[in-house]
Structure 1
Amino acid sequence: MLARLKQAGQAEEGMSIVDHLTELRQRIIIVIAALVVGVLIGFYFASSIVDYLLLIPEKLVYLYPGEAFFVHLKLALVGGLGLAGPVILYQLISFILPALRQNERTILFVGLPFVLLLFLAGVVFAYKLILPLAFSFFMGFGTDSLEPLISINSYISFVLGLIIPFGLVFQLPLVVVLLTSIGILTPQILVRYRKFMVLIIFIVSTVLTPPDIISQVLMALPMIFLYELSILLSRSSFWRRKKRKE
């Protein structure tokens, strides 16, 4: 894929504005087509996705006639976006590649695989570790006179609202390395504002996660770990950049 992108970037240099607009139209059509196909596939497998995401023994219910349909549609949109993601990335990068300098292209090609891997790592981490812990904690409040009645919409919203932000949060080390490599950040700045960033992390985790303290703490702790990891990576990137200048 990266080799094809490089070839596309070389072929598109020197195009006129009309050519670029025509190309943009074609790429938008391809993206829309990929999204439509992805959503259709996602809708077909929506029931299987619900079964896979079900981490509690209780049966889910729907509270109004259209709830199950709209949940399937929500999963189809999320799944369709995921399936069409490679096509969208390819079309986007192919379009902007001719405008990038060589060092910017290098950063893009090196960083893109890490973006995808870190996002998947965050999603898997949340699904395999955080979600079971969160459900175990919350379901423990049930009693003989207090039985859970969980709707499919609230359940899927809770799951997606936890695993997707984790995928985004796991991009932190990559963002820090990128900002350090272009001189915007230094490891000294990261260390100096560590306490302030811990506060920001808890605020962000409060906004991104479902409204309960346990989910917020479970999200904040990995973010703090990622921030400490970012400091180490920033130091490495900083010294490499300094040596290149010398």
Structure 2
Amino acid sequence: MNGETAFTLMEHVTELRKRLLRVVLVLVGGMAVGFIFARPIFLYFMDVPPANAIALNVFNPWDAIKIYMNFALLIGLIPALPFAMYQLWAFLKPGLRNEEQGASLTYIPFALLLFLAGLAFGYFIVFKMAFHFTTQISASMQLVETYGVAQYFSFMFNIVIPVSLLFELPVVVMFLTNLRLLNPDRLRKGRRYAYLLLTIIATVITPPDLISAIIVGIPMILLYEVSVYLSGVIYKRQLLQEQYEKENPGVYAQASQ
């Protein structure tokens, strides 16, 4: 490695570090805002099923702070995820063509929409199903249900956040395909491993019964297949663009100026 190459590599590392720091700052800023809204959001969840039907207790002086931190982190992720994708786009932008820059940038707002959709699916479907299952098991064993508020919400966040992040899969795949870091062939070759991983995740975040795993696993697999299809659409468009550029080098060079 010569001095010029080493210098260029160090510039890239420094640039990447700066962008990662910006993402962390946005996450911290989002968490700071989250502390403001944590209490009303917490009270909302306390007034809706299943929390409003059970007594939640505090077993540790730090439980209230832990809940505030969990809600603040969740709120902080809402702006941090699309901003992280924007920083990745900005980092790779110098190596992208003009049409690739514009196309990949348009996907970033959809990352926020899918994250919110994942939150809704995780809470209203997966979490409620899992909680109902566990309470039924407790009742069948004639156990007295005494829930800690920190344990209840940790149980909820451990389900909702992973599901929300999995809902980002189509946008992430489209984004990376536009950046030429992924293509549909790679996704198809890794399909069996992806299915296995998604099945394991669905099994871990749901009650230990087949029906629950299927209810969660099927949407996850469908999201992967949608991602493969969307990646194929983008990749085909890229190949057509490359073919056009080869056949019309003068036209492309003039358009790039």
The normalised TM-score by structure 1 is 0.70
Matched, 1:160 2:153: no
- SS, match of residue 140 in structure 1: helix
Structure 1: distance between partners of 2:114 and 2:30: 23
User: Which of 31, 42, 59 is the aligned partner of 2:37?
Assistant: 42
**Counterpart for residue 78 of structure 1:** 74
Q: Does 1:119 align with 2:115?
A: yes
Report the CA distance between 1:177 and its aligned residue: 2.0
Counterpart residue number, 2:12: none
Unaligned 5+ segments in structure 2 are 1-14, 244-257
CA distance in 2 between counterparts of 1:32 and 1:237 reads 30
- Structure 1: which 4+ aligned runs deviate by more than 6 Å? none
Q: How does 1:167-186 map to 2 (within 5 A)?
A: 167-186=164-183
Q: Distance in 1 between matches of 2:30 and 2:170?
A: 30
Please tell me whether the aligned partners of residues 31 and 72 of structure 2 are also in contact (alpha carbons under 8 angstroms). Answer: no
Alpha-carbon distance in structure 1 between the residues aligned to 2:91 and 2:183? 30
Would you say the 8 A contact 1:122–1:167 is kept in 2? yes
Q: For residues 122-146 of structure 1, give each alpha carbon's deviation from its aligned partner in whole angstroms, at most 9, with x where no partner exists.
A: 1111112112211222211114731
Structure-2 change in CA distance of 1:67 and 1:100 (3 Å): same
Query: Aligned pair in 2 of structure 1 residues 228, 104: CA closer, same or farther (>3 Å)?
Result: closer
Q: Look up the equivalent residue of 1:71 and give its one-letter code.
A: I
- Correspondence for 1:16: none
Q: Contact conserved, 1:42 with 1:77, CA < 8 A, in 2?
A: no
Of 44-53 and 143-152, the range deviating more from structure 2: 44-53
* Cα pair 1:173 1:233 within 8 Å, conserved: yes
1:136-189 per-position Cα deviation (integer Å, ceiling 9, x unaligned): 222111147312211111110111111111111111112222333344433333
Gaps of 5+ in 1: 1-19
- Identity level (%): 26
Aligned to 1:89: 83
Distance 1:180 1:32 in 2: 26
Distance in structure 1 (CA, Å) of the matches to 2:233 and 2:120: 27
Deviation at residue 117 of structure 1 after TM alignment: 0.9
- CA distance in 2 between counterparts of 1:32 and 1:195 reads 34
The Cα shift of 1:50 comes to 3.8
- Structure 2: how far apart are the matches of 1:78 and 1:51? 17
Q: Which residue of 1 aligns with 2:46?
A: 51
- Decide whether aligned partners of structure 1 residues 134 and 35 sit closer, same or farther in structure 2, where only a CA change above 3 A counts: closer
* CA distance in 1: counterparts of 2:141 and 2:163, whole angstroms: 34
CA contact (8 A) 1:62 1:151 kept: yes
Give the 3 Å change call, closer, same or farther, for CA 52–243 of structure 1 in structure 2.
Answer: farther
Letter paired with 2:46: D
Alignment of 1:192-211 (within 5 A): 192-205=189-202, 209=205
- Structure-2 change in CA distance of 1:33 and 1:187 (3 Å): closer
**Is the contact made by 2:173 and 2:182 (CA closer than 8 Å) also made in structure 1?**
yes
- 1:4 aligns with none
Number of positions where the alignment pairs a residue of Structure 1 with one of Structure 2: 219
**In the TM superposition, what whole-angstrom CA distance separates every residue of 1:189-220 from its partner, at most 9, and x where no partner exists?**
3233322221122344566x378567765543
